[in-house]
Chain A
Amino acid sequence: MKKQTILALGFVSLFLLASADPAMAYVLLSPRRRWASTPVTVRVYNVGNSTITDGDGGVTAVVGAIRAWGIISSSTTSSAAVRGSAPATIMLNTNGGVCTGNCLAATLTGYYTSQAGDDRIYDADVYTNTSQPLYSSRESGCSGEYDINSIMTHEVGHVIGIGHSNVSGATMYPSISACNTAPRSLASDDIAARDDLY
């Protein structure tokens, strides 16, 4: 092997080592907070999103998708979210007046500052921008839409108290691109975050 090649390979190795983020780990919401007990009940409002053409506007897909966390009891509900009151409710049919413009989905979480120990989460509701193109796992193909299964699995991470991770490939990584379905499945980093809290 030529001397220059060896030098180049050495340089590449050093660069990769130097660019590795030493703080690659999950982040919990701060101040730390959690629901009082598991399973955490999450309801999906049974009026779906009109841009999702899977038969029920993504409702069934989301009920199933968010169970990926393993500590979620999910079902549909005919009651819309009431902010500040449990249970956690996912609204696919409204932006809640907060998730507009370039927002895809937003989680509003509420907690009381406790005197001791973790702050308790009392409510968390998720709202969806109905102006953005979305699709679900119950549809075939994707042409520039955002995957509602992935989006809601990520948002439910916030619901249970997890922040954004800097681990690329984690469900809680803050970036999602169109047609990306990888966040449907939890990465080891997401599982570590969940297990830290519950």
Chain B
Amino acid sequence: MHRRTLLSLSLLLLVVALPVSASQFVQLTFDQVARESTFIVRGSVEQTWTAWDDAHEVIFTYATVRVSRYFGEATGPDTLLVREVGGTVGDYTQEAIGFPMIRRGEDVVLFLSQWENSTDYRIHAFNQGKFLVRSRDGQELLVEDPVKQGDGRLTNPDKGHARENSEWNDAMTIGEFAQMVDAARAGERVDRNDRSRN
């Protein structure tokens, strides 16, 4: 077997072994998420609280996000109110299984759009619209939040950290992210798989 054949076989195996990540959500391309969002921000989650809706049917988690940077051309206020389905009131917890969570103290990058008939914002495209900012080797990287609703909000509050090497596989720098947002908002088709990996 020639060396070239061996190399091709190795590359094929690497491609086949890449994890497929999706959900009961239809996966959108990066540019779709970026274009559909009202704001794309980096910020810190300061205050969080939970409350039933007026009809006492849904528990929402509210979070104030102190914005340190707006990506793309759209800018807004220094603080945004983000509201997500799910939370605990008293000893009753309601969760939307697999939906993103928002936790106090997180350093995040969020794609945001407004709830229908409300001025509150929600994470756009669910888990595709949330990244955690992590430091590694002196560099700030964006990683997907590995913890979704149903994964142990109460028992493991620290699970939000990217803990294993596999969780860094799709990490990107903030510079890369900003370039992708600019391209997407300018109408280009942008997929996360197209960018160079760290």
Chain A contacts to B: CB under 8 angstroms: 2, 4-5, 7-8, 11-12, 15-16, 19, 29-31, 82-84, 97-98, 100-113, 122, 132, 151, 154-155, 158, 163-164, 174-176
Residue of B nearest to A9 (CB): B1
* B93 contacts A4, C-beta separation under 8 Å: no
Cα(A15)–Cα(B16), bound, Å? 12
* A15 contacts B22, C-beta separation under 8 Å: no
Given the contacts A12-B9, A15-B10, A98-B85, A108 and B155 also touching, CB distance less than 8 Å: no
- A161, chain B: closest CB distance, angstroms: 9
Residues of A within 8 Å of B95, CB to CB, are: 29, 108-110
Residues of A within 8 Å of B126, CB to CB, are: 101-103
* A102 contacts B25, C-beta separation under 8 Å: yes
Residues of B within 8 Å of A107, CB to CB, are: 96-97
- A176, chain B: closest CB distance, angstroms: 7
At the interface, yes or no: B56 with Cβ under 8 Å from chain A?
yes
Query: Pick the contact of A108 from B5, B58, B91 — CB < 8 Å?
Result: B58
* B92 contacts A163, C-beta separation under 8 Å: no
* B92 contacts A164, C-beta separation under 8 Å: no
* B1 contacts A84, C-beta separation under 8 Å: no
Chain B contacts to A: CB under 8 angstroms: 1-3, 5-6, 9-10, 13, 17, 20-28, 36, 56-58, 85-86, 91-99, 116, 124-126, 128, 150-152, 154-156
* A111 contacts B24, C-beta separation under 8 Å: no
* A110 contacts B22, C-beta separation under 8 Å: no
Residue of B nearest to A108 (CB): B96
Most buried by B among A101, A111, A176: A101
* B26 contacts A104, C-beta separation under 8 Å: yes
* A113 contacts B58, C-beta separation under 8 Å: no
Query: Interface of chain B, helix or strand or loop or mixed?
Result: loop
Most buried by A among B10, B22, B96: B96
Given the contacts A5-B1, A111-B92, A111-B93, A97 and B58 also touching, CB distance less than 8 Å: yes
Residues of B within 8 Å of A154, CB to CB, are: 24
Residues of B within 8 Å of A15, CB to CB, are: 10, 13, 17
Query: Pick the contact of A84 from B17, B57, B154 — CB < 8 Å?
Result: B57
Cα(A154)–Cα(B24), bound, Å? 9
Other contacts beyond A12-B13, A84-B94, A108-B95: 11, CB < 8 A: A15-B10, A19-B17, A29-B150, A98-B58, A102-B125, A102-B128, A103-B26, A110-B94, A158-B97, A175-B23, A176-B22
Residue of A nearest to B93 (CB): A111
Residue of B nearest to A111 (CB): B93
- B55, chain A: closest CB distance, angstroms: 8
Residues of B within 8 Å of A174, CB to CB, are: 21-24, 98
* A11 contacts B6, C-beta separation under 8 Å: yes
Cα(A178)–Cα(B27), bound, Å? 12
Nearest 3 CB-CB pairings of A with B: A30-B152, A175-B22, A83-B57
* A8 contacts B24, C-beta separation under 8 Å: no
Residues of A within 8 Å of B17, CB to CB, are: 15, 19
